[in-house]
Amino acid sequence: MKKYDKLVKNAAGRVVPSEINGEQHIPFQGVGKYIPDGRKYAPRISSCANYPADGNKVIPGLKEALIKAGLKDGMTISTHHHFRNGDLIAKQIFDIAAELGMKNLRWYPSAAFPCHEPLIKYLEDGTINRIEGSMNGILGKFCSEGRMQGLGVLRSHGGRYQSVQDGEVRIDISVIAAPTADPFGNANGVDGPAACGLLGFALADSQYADKVIVVTDNLVPFPCIPWQIHGNYVDYVVEVDQVGLPEKIISGTTKITKSPDRLLIAELTAKFCDAAGIVKDGFSYQAGAGGTALSIGVYFSKLLKERGWKARFIRAGSNQYPVEMLEEGLVDYILDGQTFDLEGVRSMRENSNHVNTSPFTSYNYHGKGNFAGMVDVVILGATEVDVNFNANVVTHSDGYLLHGIGGWQNCLFSKCTIMPIPLFRDRIPVIRDEVTTLCGPGELIDVIVTERGIAINPLRKDLIDKVKNSDLPIKTIEELKDEAERICGKPAKPELADDIVAVIKWVDGTVLDSVRRVISEQ
C-alpha cells in the first residue's frame, strides 16, 4: 500500500494527495463548497438475543475483550484523549496487540500525547501502520521525520465525528476508558476516582464502531447515571485497577498570564470585543486554556459584572475560571466539550447548567447545523498567520508537526474569530507571507490581535466600521508583518523535503493541506 498518491492542487492552492493510505479522498474545494450526496455509515444491526439477558457484559480483561472483539491485522482501533497526558489504556491495547502478533493496525485516537511515546516501538515494528489523529509532541516529531509507515491524517474534533459518521473511517474496535461504568456498559466521566469530566470524544465511536469495549476502574450497579455513553452500544466491559490519571487532564495553564506583552494582548482583545459591540447582555464566547485566553475571560467577567450583564453561554474547555463565572451567576450555561481541570470536573458533576457536549452537537459539519456558528466570539491561538489571514495551528515554522487541531477548525465558524498572538516568538515572526501548513482558511479568521496592533480581515467591513472611531491600534496585517520583520528580520522558509508525511483534513472531510517531511539534523 502506497502512503499516498495522485497529487493535485486544491482550491486553496495547496498540493495534496487524493489517494491516502490506499483510499480515495476529495481535495479541499473551498469553504462550504463540498456538499456530500451520500448516506451515513450504516452499522450492523445487533440483536439482544446475542447479548447477556441480565445485561452483564463484564469479561475478565482487556486481552480477552480484544480477542472476543475479533482483533485482526489491519484493523482500526480507536481510543480517546479525555485523560489527555494521563491516558493509561492505549499503551495496554497495543502491548496486547503486539503480543498477539498483530500488524498494520490503524490507531485512531481522538488525540495522542507525550505519554504515548512508548507506542513508537509499535510504529517502528509495524504493529501500528499509522496514527490518524492529532499528535502532540514526540509522536508528531516522529511523523515529521517521515518515520511512520502510513500517512498521518489529522482531523479536527468535528472532522473526526464527520469521518466516522460518513463511513470514511470505519472503526473495528473502540476502547473507551471510562471513570465510571456499569456492567451493561453505560459510562460517564464525572464520577469515580479517575473522573475526567465527560466522554464526548468517544460518542461517534460508540455509535458507529463495530465492537465497543468500555474499560473502567469504578464499576457501579446499573444504572450508571449520567450515561454519557449508552451501554446499548457497548459489547464488553472490562475492570482495571486504574483507568487514567485525572491530575494530568490539565491543559494550558491554570493561571492568568503575568507577561506584560500577553496581558496587553488580552486587554486589547477584550477592548476590541467591547468596542465592536460583541460583549453584551446574553452574549457567548469561547476563550480557551492558555494564560492569555484566561486573562481575556477575566476581562469579560469584569465587564459583565460592572454592567450587570449575564452571558448566555461559555463554550469550553472548562476550568476554574468559567466555573467561577457560572457559580457567580455571570453566565447561564457552560457548554463543555472537555474539562481542563478538576474544578471543571466537579462543576460538571454538580451543576446541571454545566452541560456535557460532544463533537456531534458542537462541531459536526455534516449535521443539520452545529452550534459552533452560534458562538459570538471565539479566541484561538495559532503558530503562524499569513497576510491572507490563513492560519496554522499544527506545525511550527521549522515544519515540525507538534500540535493537534482539536476543535480549532470547527471554532472558526463562530460569528467572530479572533487570534491573539505575539508578533514574534523566540525572535521568529508569527505573521508570514504564507503559512507553513494551512489549517484555517483566511476567510474565516476575522481579527489578529498582537501587542503592537490589531489587524481586521478586510472581508469584515462590519467590524472595521464598528471600531473605526475607537482608540484601538488598528493596523493592516501587512503593517504588523513589516513591523515584526523590522525587528527580527525576514524569516527564512523552512527547508522541507518534497515527500509528504501527513495531511490536514478540513471539517467536511476534504484534504486541506499536506505536511512535508522535515529534513532532520541528525
Query: Which positions lie near a second copy, rule CB under 8 A?
Result: 32-55, 57, 165-166, 184-185, 212, 221-223, 225-227, 230-235, 282, 312-313, 333, 335, 352-353, 355, 360-361, 364-371, 373-374, 413, 415, 508
- Which residues contact residue 464 at a Cβ distance below 8 angstroms, ignoring those fewer than 6 apart? 456, 458, 474
Whole-number Å distance between alpha carbons of 407 and 400: 20
Query: Could you tell me which of 120, 117, 113 has the C-alpha nearest to residue 82?
Result: 113
Residue (351 or 470) nearer to a second copy, CB: 351
Question: Residue 319 Cβ, how far from a second copy at the closest point, in Å?
Answer: 20
Whole-number Å distance between alpha carbons of 173 and 194: 23
Give the residue carrying C-alpha cell 470536573. Answer: 345
Residue (217 or 508) nearer to a second copy, CB: 508
Question: Residue 409 Cβ, how far from a second copy at the closest point, in Å?
Answer: 12
- Which residues contact residue 507 at a Cβ distance below 8 angstroms, ignoring those fewer than 6 apart? 156, 158, 159, 162, 363, 365, 409, 410, 413
Strand-pairing partners, residue 229, are 187
Residue (317 or 420) nearer to a second copy, CB: 317
Q: Which residues of 356-374 are buried (b: 16+ CB within 10 A; e: fewer)?
A: bbbbbbbbbbbbeebbbeb
- DSSP conformation class of 87: B
Question: Residue 58 Cβ, how far from a second copy at the closest point, in Å?
Answer: 13
Residue (292 or 357) nearer to a second copy, CB: 357
Question: Residue 300 Cβ, how far from a second copy at the closest point, in Å?
Answer: 18
Question: Residue 235 Cβ, how far from a second copy at the closest point, in Å?
Answer: 6
- Which residues contact residue 367 at a Cβ distance below 8 angstroms, ignoring those fewer than 6 apart? 360
The CA radius of gyration of the chain, in Å to the nearest whole number, is 23
Whole-number Å distance between alpha carbons of 124 and 142: 10
What's 448-513 look like in SS3? Answer: EEECCEEEECCCCHHHHHHHCCCCCCEECHHHHHHHHHHHHCCCCCCCEEEEEEEEEECCCCCEEE
Residue (332 or 479) nearer to a second copy, CB: 332
Residue (135 or 276) nearer to a second copy, CB: 276
Helix (H) or strand (E) holding 138: helix 138-144
Residue (196 or 335) nearer to a second copy, CB: 335
Residue (162 or 295) nearer to a second copy, CB: 162
Whole-number Å distance between alpha carbons of 188 and 190: 6
Question: Residue 87 Cβ, how far from a second copy at the closest point, in Å?
Answer: 25
Helix (H) or strand (E) holding 260: helix 260-275
8 A C-beta contact, residue 213 and residue 174:
yes
DSSP 7-24: EEE-TTS-EEEEEETTEE
Question: Residue 459 Cβ, how far from a second copy at the closest point, in Å?
Answer: 14
Question: Residue 100 Cβ, how far from a second copy at the closest point, in Å?
Answer: 24
Whole-number Å distance between alpha carbons of 83 and 301: 28
Question: Residue 89 Cβ, how far from a second copy at the closest point, in Å?
Answer: 20
Question: Residue 482 Cβ, how far from a second copy at the closest point, in Å?
Answer: 34
Whole-number Å distance between alpha carbons of 442 and 444: 5
